[in-house]
With several copies, the nearest count.
Chain A
Amino acid sequence: MNHISAGDTAWLLAATALVMLMTPGLGLFYGGMVRRKNVLSMIALSFIAYAIVSVQWIVYGYSISFGPDIHGIIGSLKYLLLFGFYHKVIGDVPALIYVAFQLVFAAITLAIVTSACAERIKLSAFLLFGLLWTTFVYDPIAHWVWGGGWLSKLGALDFAGGTVVHISSGFGALALALAIGKRRGFGEYNMEPHNIPMTLLGAALLWFGWFGFNAGSAVAANASAANAFLVTNTAAAVAGLSWMFASWIKEGKPGSLGFVSGAVAGLVAITPAAGYVNVSGAIAIGIVVGVLCYNMMLFRIRKGLDESLDAWAVHGMGGLWGAIATGIFATRAVSQYTGLIYGNFHQFIVQILAASASVAYAFVVTFIIAKFVDAVVGLRVSEEEEYVGLDISQHGETAYT
């Protein structure tokens, strides 16, 4: 048995708890944006996504993601139910907390995808979809990038999951949105957020938890964690302001929703880069991603696309930019890896390649899974169920009296 560092373990325990909180935080973030009649459904989807992945991960998800590599494609089933893991050590932390840390990443990724089916998915369909998605989309990509698969062999950098978490969920959401179709009345009626303070609270929890996400990804309490912590905060703050100013100029009013959407976009974009860039890089990444994702959202709306809560615009495109930006701004001041600014064209190309492969894979496989679930149990609720709202029709509950 290897040596365990209590300090590194202490941080990973705390970081895992922080990341766990992000999933209900995301539920609130999304829940505030939907109409009053769907808020419980929206929050419940996050909780249920979390629960599905929590079980799947310890049974076989961890194993196929992080188990012994099979041809660079997938992990083996060797770690089923984590037998014998109590005494294992990974790096210098107990293996079980590493498993838990990876679990909370897998969980929130599925939760992000629920953006696409807001206010119209059948609960039973989501249970099936969720299990398939985490198994066939998340786990393979996690294996490719972090579990010793082909992308890691290629040298792709993804510190905390720009590709694994955000590209996969963002482009997955896009595919799911296309498969499930628009909400009735989309583009016709007002579908304004019913409770923006709830969304702001959710954003606060996301920002808070993201420190665990990115700084925890150092899997140690060291300078790399400290750097990840600070650049994470920098990118979030800068991107929040950047989106706010962009919308201020374009629409004349800087919404609070715009600020927090920008902050989330900043958090997304810094995720893959957090272990490789310094604060100057974070500022650049943040400025760009705020303007970029804001315009992607406008583009999405212009196209009449009901990717309802903008997982694609924010996580998909933000993650894509982050992956590429890692290949630009990686600096020797922070790690051994360098990017375009150091003339490292190779890394830049690898980043684009890895991101593109993940975009394509996530999009295509998600679309297939969604169509399959639609054929088997039907993805959508009936028109009347949608009209009365998912809280009543799927859960038999009313959020507020």
Chain B
Amino acid sequence: MKKIEAIIRSEKFEDVKKALESKGIIAMTVTEVKGRGEQKGITLQFRGRTMEVDLLSKIKIEIVVDDSKVDTVVKTIVDSARTGKFGDGKIFIIPVEKSIRVRTGEIEK
């Protein structure tokens, strides 16, 4: 079992959500975050001054799935979240040991 943590552009979230749905990936947890990548956000020029807007609003999607589904989820997110410009985001794959459903107490590994 893996947790897929994808940090994407806020404005791409609806597209990503729909793309995932069409692949049958429904369950997810979503958080509003701020972030910057290695290129350090966006630099604006203003009257000869430079201003860095480094922390931009992003959406973090967390999805826990069986190992078998990881590639589908990753590919779906990459395809639907991409614009080709800096700031498109990152996906991290994190191991999950087990998962428990609160309603029933049942455990999945």
Does a CB–CB distance below 8 Å link A and B in the complex? yes
> A: which residues have CB within 8 A of B?
36-37, 185, 188-190, 252-253, 382, 384-385, 387-388, 392-393, 396
Instruction: For B42, give its contact among A37, A188, A387, A396 (CB under 8 Å).
Output: A387
Partner of B51, one of A36, A188, A396: A396
- Please provide the chain B residues from 49 to 74 with a CB less than 8 Å away from any CB of chain A in the complex: 49, 51, 53, 56-57
**Complex-state Cα separation, A190 to B55, whole angstroms:** 15
The verdict on B33 contacting chain A, using a C-beta distance below 8 Å, is: no
CB proximity of A244 to chain B, nearest CB, Å: 14
Interface of B is mostly: strand
Q: Which 10 residue pairs are nearest across A and B when measured between Cβ atoms?
A: A189-B11, A252-B49, A388-B53, A252-B47, A252-B46, A384-B42, A392-B53, A190-B14, A388-B42, A393-B44
Contact A388 B46 (CB under 8 A): no
Tell me which residues across on chain A come within 8 A of B46, comparing CB atoms.
252-253, 393
**Contacts A252-B47, A252-B49, A396-B51; A388 near B11 (Cβ below 8 A):** no
Within 8 Å by CB of A190, from B11, B47, B48, lies B11
Please give me the residue from chain A that is nearest to B14 by CB atom.
Answer: A190
> Within the complex, what minimum Cβ distance (angstroms) separates A128 from chain B?
17
A-B contact pairs, 5 of them (CB 8 A): A190-B11, A382-B44, A384-B42, A388-B42, A393-B46
Chain B contact patch, size range: 10 to 19
Q: How many contacts A-B (CB < 8 Å)? A: 32
Alpha-carbon gap, A392 to B41, bound state (A): 13
Nearest chain A CB to B21's CB is how many angstroms away? 16
Expressed in whole angstroms, the Cα–Cα distance for A276 and B10 within the complex equals 51
Q: CA A387 – CA B48 in complex, angstroms?
A: 20
Report the minimum CB–CB distance from B11 to chain A (whole Å). Answer: 4
- How many angstroms from the CA of A259 to the CA of B65 in the assembled complex? 44
Cβ–Cβ contact A388 & B56, under 8 A: yes
Within 8 A of A (CB), among B2-31: 11-14
Beyond A384-B42, A385-B44, A388-B42, 19 additional pairs, beta carbon < 8 A: A36-B57, A37-B57, A189-B11, A189-B14, A190-B11, A190-B13, A252-B46, A252-B47, A252-B49, A252-B51, A253-B46, A384-B44, A387-B42, A388-B53, A388-B56, A392-B53, A393-B44, A393-B53, A396-B51
A388 x B44 contact (CB < 8 A): yes
